[in-house]
Structure 1
């Protein structure tokens, strides 16, 4: 493969022409020329022709277009195996989805979304290829999982239109491939979205539909039950909330700890702790405190908040809410500020941090100004 930038740099050096001098000769902006040579921007056909004439080269536009090395490698293996799709390609896509779902708790949502888009595009390309019925079903399934994860990331980033489109795509692929767990996760994810929007009654309805759709003993069933409990907590339904909490702990204990507990679509007892902390905090039950503290103790890699996974930031918000209720306001401000400054509170959860800020402001504490300033900084990053 010809390295366009390398060829141009060598030719410029051989002729004693500087980058600025070349830009002047070619009548192009030097910054634009620099980006093209560095491979950060594709050149126009006119620029390629002008470079060839100036330096005596025979480069093409295709030589300058950046390639996706990962996709190129996969494509090569696919062709070598003389299969339009092939088991190796599908297995790599499935492993890649698992890697992305496992990275979700710690990764930046925008970075992860770029990876989801890239692999979803590859799935679309393969859907047009010749394949067996079994391969077609596997492709639809991994496409459904990728669309579901993409929808979750769009929700985290408050991108409602894109989230809706990806959820609909995931549900359609799940139905086509006959994978009820993906369909159940679609309902559960939508329940979380409307819950964050304040529509608790609709969240309750969606969580119940998700439980009906979910296979027995599946992670989707446990998470949908958890969403039902959260909706009940926001509605102030104490008895129903505690019943949902008990069911979640019973379900998660039965499945045990999976091989990759950080995987977003695999429930485990550790996730049940985080869920309980949030649910009881929303219900106004100070019993949430030990759950939140256990999550923080188990998952905090260090005192440096920048290294926290998302669940630790969320647990600190839960803890702050409970500490406010218990009148321990200094501790509440400290926990809330750590969560906000960690950078791990995604846009869809900013409202939870705001609940603590407003509670502190209502009590007219001197720390309220600093907490509000930290929160405004959080919002500024979102914008």
Structure 2
């Protein structure tokens, strides 16, 4: 979701930097940003993201001034209120349904870039609004469209709860999404519910259950759907965690075949539309987990594509994960120094969501086992940035 910037942002950034007697290079080291990126921010050549502004606020002790100069993401609650006023007690119009579905796509497209805690209230309000309309007077066709919209919102809400490690809430909304999908006879939402459960149990270390759920999702998902591709990729991850390199490679080969002729979707950032670029990212993760020697080359290519300028790129959450993947591959290749640097960049970006902290913990454990002294720097950052200010090692799955 794009942000606009107050023209005073660059002036304020320079003022706070100079007040701390920091050069652009020094600030870059502290903030894990390139000197050129910071220069572009100060001169107004590039607009900062809200996350970058908040991070610089913290580094420079700016008291929220910088973040205040960056527009907040659009709150779709206002749209929901408008829709409610228009619908009132009358039948739901086609325009209302079209705008609800547009709102669902907007929220799903915000998922890769928006902080989970910021996205959750927006999803919650949209879901509540759909629920109110379902309680009103609707035709059978209108009801099905509302059920489908509610199903997508419920599975998205469950995913955000998982990211925040709120698993009881996630389970409740996955059940709701499944029920809504069954009522609407919507196989793809049902498959996404299973795939989302597979990801959740995989992050908790229950790899066999993740494998079973991924298989169920593939059988439920419509042929050629994004859900089937994602579930197949999830199967590969489960095999990698189990340690079966042969099964991992076979599952990845199936993903490659499924995506071979796949067109780039209109909104590639949409969480429930498989972007062919995701295949490379999942391959990098999976090979790194499997300890495959080919992981380093794939992971480097993915990171270069996501973040060509070293400024976290347009998809900061994916960039953070890509750094963790490459770090893990580098440790296995005997390059723990670079692995530490990449891990530090990922953690300090603030884009490693709570459900992914076990991946940071795994990289930390690996570099500490290597004996490289720089591992202490990564541990300090993990303690500083981990949810609840706890060392991420506490979050490692069994």
TM-score class normalised by the smaller sequence:
0.7 to 0.9
Deviations 1:21-50 (A, max 9, x none): xxxxxxxxxxxxxxxxxxxxxxxxxxxxxx
CA apart distance, 1:71:
2.9
Whose relative contact order is higher, 1 or 2, with alpha carbons under 8 Å and at least 6 apart?
A: 2
In structure 2, what is the equivalent of residue 188 of structure 1? 195
Contact map agreement 1:225 1:248 (CA 8 A) in 2: yes
Deviations 1:262-309 (A, max 9, x none): 111011210001100000000001211222222222222642348652
| Partner residue of 1:303 out of 296, 310, 328 | 310
Structure with bigger gyration radius: 1
In structure 1, what is the equivalent of residue 110 of structure 2? 103
In structure 2, what is the equivalent of residue 74 of structure 1? 83
Find the residue that maps to 1:343 and give its secondary structure: coil
CA distance in 2, matches of 1:373, 1:131: 56
RMSD: 1.6
CA apart distance, 1:381:
5.1
Deviations 1:329-379 (A, max 9, x none): 111111111111111110000000111111111122110111100111122
Against the structure 1 CA distance between its residues 371 and 190, is the aligned structure 2 distance closer, same or farther, given a 3 Å change threshold? same
Contact map agreement 1:78 1:88 (CA 8 A) in 2: no
CA apart distance, 1:161:
0.3
Against the structure 1 CA distance between its residues 74 and 380, is the aligned structure 2 distance closer, same or farther, given a 3 Å change threshold? closer
In structure 2, what is the equivalent of residue 329 of structure 1? 336
CA distance in 2, matches of 1:366, 1:188: 39
Against the structure 1 CA distance between its residues 138 and 301, is the aligned structure 2 distance closer, same or farther, given a 3 Å change threshold? farther
| Partner residue of 1:234 out of 235, 241, 258 | 241
* Gap runs ≥5 in structure 1: 1-67
| Partner residue of 2:259 out of 252, 270, 276 | 252
* Gap runs ≥5 in structure 2: 1-76, 391-398
Contact map agreement 2:245 2:292 (CA 8 A) in 1: no
| Partner residue of 1:267 out of 248, 261, 274 | 274
Q: How many residues align?
A: 314
Deviations 1:217-244 (A, max 9, x none): 0000000001111000011111110011
In structure 2, what is the equivalent of residue 374 of structure 1? 381
CA distance in 2, matches of 1:153, 1:345: 13
| Partner residue of 2:210 out of 187, 193, 203 | 203
CA distance in 1, matches of 2:297, 2:158: 32
CA distance in 2, matches of 1:207, 1:310: 23
In structure 1, what is the equivalent of residue 393 of structure 2? none
CA distance in 2, matches of 1:69, 1:356: 42
CA distance in 1, matches of 2:110, 2:80: 20
Find the residue that maps to 1:366 and give its secondary structure: coil
Contact map agreement 1:301 1:307 (CA 8 A) in 2: no
Contact map agreement 1:174 1:183 (CA 8 A) in 2: yes
CA distance in 2, matches of 1:195, 1:322: 20
Deviations 1:175-194 (A, max 9, x none): 00000000000000000000
Find the residue that maps to 1:357 and give its secondary structure: helix
CA distance in 2, matches of 1:348, 1:342: 16
In structure 2, what is the equivalent of residue 124 of structure 1? 131
